[in-house]
Amino acid sequence: MTFNDLKLIEPIRKALRDEGYTNPTAIQAKAIPLVLQRYDVLGSAQTGTGKTAAFAIPIIQHLASRPFKNNGKRKITSLVVTPTRELAIQIGESFSAYAKYTKVNNTVIFGGVNQKSQTEALRQGVDVLVATPGRLLDLMDQGFISLNDVRYFVLDEADRMLDMGFIHDIRKIIERLPHKRQSLFFSATMPKNILKLSQQILTRPKKVAVNPVSSTAETIQQYLYTTNKKEKPNLLLHILRNPRMDQVLVFSRTKHGANRIARNLDKKGIKSAAIHGDRSQNQRQRALKEFKDGKIRVLVATDIAARGIDIDKLRYVINYDIPNESETYVHRIGRCGRAGEDGVAISICEPEENAYIRDIEKLTKQKLQMVEDNPYPQTDKPMTTAEKKEFEKEKQRRKQEFFANLKKKMAGKQKSKTGNNRNKPRRR
């Protein structure tokens, strides 16, 4: 199947050709015809499967087919709500790319930055609004945004939205949407609370599902290096000596770890940058832009900061720290090998992480290919006192993180039962 088979208008097909797109991904082939037929859609799809185009392309076609008035302010006709500012920015870029030969325009709003430029864009009129929940509600309360004319509503990364505590914000947004609308709902996972939320948003939806969380793209080659903790920096440098690895996304478990990795690489002459929750929005955007533009070779990221990173033709992902949740591994390596492109995922495993590798192989039903040419192989040598101390500290941190998340979930359930809104989730 090609995009020509999807009954798209020529301005969109021309934009897709400019982007180098010829064949739709699985989610696009399934979802685009349904959205064009004006069905509500419940989509199970991870980041990296091409789902942004799956909803952006048909929405642009709907909007482009209506008559545009030469005078009068444009009203928000399509609303896309997404959990993070990085993802919001990239969705906005996608709408701009696919709609460049139409009259459809868009703007993106998110928290953490001054609202002036965002409110100015809203005053000029906009067809498609891409927003994070907190800033959207803030500007609605200030009178800058009305949802009365929304005909197309997209809730993206719904599971992530709930994990970040946005459930009450989402419900407030839904209450202020017109009852008559087309709604599209996308989530990487479909637990009971997500399905319950989808029932509040969708009307007789068509279901589409691709790439369940346990699966990894067939185009991704997965390699495993085993080493000791203190040799990890040296092994990373050894791996990066490969000149073909010109653009590499490295995952760290912690913010401090990400900073340390980037610092060490810079000292060795490898241009690097770290992105995580402690970086300002401008710092994160600048690092991502420099990485995309080839000005820095290695981007070191934590899992939360990396959610929503979409880099065309990224080939290399390195797990400097093995995640303790197998599903996180699948999400991480899904950053490369997208849309049929080849990808290489390399994992660096220390003895304390061996069990995580076994869990990953069990989930994915794939054996990671052990690299034999390893100058720093894993040994049975016991940990030093300093390593034991750091390991116990990390174990304690994970334990605290687990109970904090559990407490948050329990508080959320209790709040849902009582309807108590005193503790509002932090807005973005």
Does 193 map to a domain?
A: yes
226 in any annotated domain: yes
For CA atoms 118, 124, 130, 133, the dihedral sign is positive
- The 10 Å CB-count burial string (b at 16+, else e) for 133-169 is bbbbbebbeeebbebeebbbbbbbbbbbbbbbbbbbb
Looking at the structure, do residues 227 and 168 belong to the same domain, yes or no?
no
Rg (CA), the chain: 22
Question: Is 25 contained in some domain?
Answer: yes
Asked if 141 and 77 sit in the same domain, the reply is yes
Find tokens 């020529």 and name the residue: 10
Q: From first to last of its 428 residues, what are the pLDDT tens digits of the chain? A: 889 899 999 999 999 998 888 889 889 999 999 999 999 999 987 666 788 999 999 999 999 988 776 666 899 999 999 988 878 988 999 999 999 999 999 999 999 889 999 999 999 999 999 999 999 999 999 999 999 999 999 999 898 888 788 999 999 999 999 999 999 999 877 888 889 999 999 999 999 987 655 666 678 999 999 999 999 999 999 999 999 999 999 999 888 899 999 999 999 999 999 988 778 778 888 898 899 899 999 999 987 667 656 677 789 999 999 988 787 888 888 888 776 678 999 999 999 899 899 989 988 888 999 999 999 999 865 556 665 666 667 667 666 766 666 666 566 655 555 554 444 444 54
pTM: 0.60
Total of domains in the chain: 2
State residue 209 phi and psi, 5-degree precision: -145, 135
> Do 196 and 245 have their domain in common?
no
User: Does 418 fall in a domain?
Assistant: no
Burial status of residue 191 (CB atoms within 10 A of its CB: 0-12, 13-18, 19 or more):
exposed
233/261 same-domain check: yes
Q: Does residue 120 sit in the same domain as residue 143?
A: yes
Q: Which residue has the tokens 């798209």?
A: 8
Residues 237 and 98 both lie in one domain = no
Q: Using CA atoms, how far apart are residues 132 and 108, in angstroms rounded to an integer? A: 9
Residue 270 sits in the same domain as residue 181: no
Per the domain annotation, does 27 fall within a domain? yes
Note whether 9 and 59 are within 8 A (CB). Answer: no
**Token pair in block for residue 62:** 């709907």
271 & 151 share domain: no
Residue at which a domain ends, from 139, 174, 209: 209
Could you say which of 318, 347, 370 is where a domain stops? 370
Model pLDDT, residue 422: 45
> Does 398 fall in a domain?
no
Tell me which of 209, 231, 259 is where a domain ends. Answer: 209
Q: Is residue 82 assigned to a domain?
A: yes
**Together in a domain, 168 and 233:** no
Task: Look up the domain containing 89 and give its range.
Answer: 3-209
pLDDT at residue 375, as a whole number? 94
Evaluate whether residue 9 is within a structural domain.
yes
CATH at residue 159: 3.40.50.300
Q: Which residue has the tokens 């709604």?
A: 183
